[in-house]
Amino acid sequence: MSLPEIVPRAEWRAAREELLEKEKAVIRALDALRAERRRLPMVPVDREYVFEGGDGKATLLDLFQGRQQLVVHHFVFDPEWETGCRCCSAFLDQIGHLAHLHARRTTFAAVSRAPFTRILPFKARMGWTVPWYSSHPGDFDADFGVLPKEDAGTTQRPGVSCFLRDGDRVFHTYSASGRGLEGLGSTTSLLDLTALGRQEPWEEPQGRAHAVGAPVVREQLRYHDEYDD
């Protein structure tokens, strides 16, 4: 096994400080990239989609649960499978308490192609409480780039799609799949994919922090059981 070199503390500190400058440069570059992502145009979603969840049939607008944004995890679960994708399951295991997303008027939900009757027992086995819907037998996953329309086989890729609501109008703002999901799972990482971002005053473009009401700043973070949803 190849292990790191052993050095005195002073030498380690110098190397760490050199690396820290590179890490800060990456963070600044990521901030710029996220701002560019928030500046992406959006596309109206005019097609009607029908999902099935714990409360029966639902539309895409219903998936927002009254909030302004929606982050959908395209969870790979073929209609013929008894259990879901292992990689998608590991991803869902990393999702934190949803109260922090809800406080920023953002809903998270999983959507799969499997019938809800197959999703429900697997969800119970995994102990997940996140909203999870079946898109079977519709084209939702194909329309948002994780399943080629010409191939309804097992070529679906895990993915994430973000939507924004303006009244009853729904807009598609962003999608990512494959390695684009690496590093996701925390509240901030999911908010960074959305058009409104973290809704903090320092973010560009200016004005997004006020798009959902009063600005949300880190000092206003609360314990997850203290939020008023």
Instruction: Write out pLDDT tens, residues 38-72.
Output: 999 999 999 999 999 999 999 999 999 999 999 99
In this structure, are residues 21 and 28 in contact, taking their beta carbons and an 8 Å threshold?
no
And the tokens for 18? 């050199």
Instruction: Write out pLDDT tens, residues 91-102.
Output: 999 998 999 999
Instruction: Write out pLDDT tens, residues 138-150.
Output: 999 889 877 665 5
pTM: 0.91
Distances in whole angstroms, Cα of residue 103 to Cα of each of 34, 106, 183, 184: 20, 7, 22, 19
Q: Which residue has the higher pLDDT, 117 or 228?
A: 117
Q: Is the pLDDT of residue 192 over 80?
A: yes
